[in-house]
Structure formats: C-alpha cells, structure tokens
Amino acid sequence: MSALTLLIIRHAEKPEDQWPGPGLTHKGAEDKESLVIRGWQRAGAWTALFGAGSSLPDYPEPDTIYAAAPDSAERLHRHPSRRPFETISALADRLDMKPNTHFIKGEEEQLVQELLTLSGVVLLSWEHKAIVESILPMLPTAQGILPTEWPEDRFDVVLRFDRPDGAQQFAYRMLCPQLLSGDPSTGF
C-alpha cells in the first residue's frame, strides 16, 4: 500500500442552542442545513491551517479533499446537509481544487473503500455520528483506541491517520489545533 495521511474533520458549527442565529448559505440566505456564523469562521480557520502553506508537520496541505455531497436530495429523499461541503469550500478554492462530493451520508463503506486506495494527504469533512459509527470502524489501525462517540459540542478536532508506504495499518492521533476562542486544548 502507498503512504496515506488521512485527516478527518467534522463539519463546522450548525444551528442549535449553543450557537445562536440561523444557518446561512455562502450568499447569506437563511438555510437550516448550512453553517452558522461561528461555523463559517471555523471554515476560514481550517483554510488558514491547511491551506496557508505554513508547512506545520501535524497539519499538512491536502492533495485531495472529500466532503459529503451537498446537493443529494433526490438520493437521500430529504434535504441534505450542506455543512460538510461548506466547511471545506474555502479551502478547496484556496488550493484551486475541486472537492470529491460523490458520496452521501449512508455511503460510508464505498467512501472508505475508495479512500484506502489513495496516497498522499487526504482531508475528509463529514457528519460526526457517521464518522464514529461507520468510517472509523473500517480503518485498520495499528495503535490507539478510536473514539466511539463524538460530543455534540466539539467541532474543533482533527483525527489524523498515517499509513506509511508498504504498511497495512494506520497510526492514529487526535489533534486539537485550538483555532477559535473557546476551543479546548484536549481531545475527547
């Protein structure tokens, strides 16, 4: 297997009691499936962290970006969340790349099968429950205990998986970059 660094983030903040205000599209229209202002701030912070060319060893610039499809209503038979895509849209623009949005929530098995064939640095933005319930159990890890729950109030962590060239398993670390005020310095 080729060397692969997989960086997994949860979509940024959404409308709820903790973060007042409605969800807003990138054009400012109210949308309950979009990020709140704090979420757009976090999306900008992820852009600075992963796309500023700072060469921080823990947070490499991605070669490829994946996010859940933002426009999959006909496939989901309900309104899709645009939050995973919105979370990485500014980063993709900054890096002049088109994110892969071919998968929707519920297609995690196909997503992981594709991710495991890749090499380089891949950033994935997804929904938190599907990350811990569906994606993480399919990743072969060499060490550490993977989270089985993602707290509702945590939008600030990076799950980092490193697979060296020729290896079958990933080494795992949880990173807490503290990008916005109030972000904890410890994981969950």
Residue-wise pLDDT tens digits, 66-108: 999 987 555 555 556 789 999 999 999 999 999 999 999 899 9
What pLDDT score was predicted for residue 96? Answer: 96
pLDDT at 52 exceeding the cut of 90: no
Rounded Cα distance, 91 and 143, in Å: 30
Does residue 188 lie in a domain region?
Answer: no
Say whether 162 sits in a helix, a strand or coil.
strand
Does residue 117 lie in a domain region?
Answer: yes
Does residue 183 lie in a domain region?
Answer: no
Does residue 128 lie in a domain region?
Answer: yes
pLDDT at 17 exceeding the cut of 70: no
CATH number of domain containing 111 = 3.40.50.1240
Backbone phi, psi, residue 93, to 5°: -60, -45
Query: Average pLDDT of 128-147?
Result: 90
Rounded Cα distance, 164 and 182, in Å: 34
Number of domains in the chain: 1
Which domain does 109 fall in, by range? 4-175
What pLDDT score was predicted for residue 90? Answer: 95
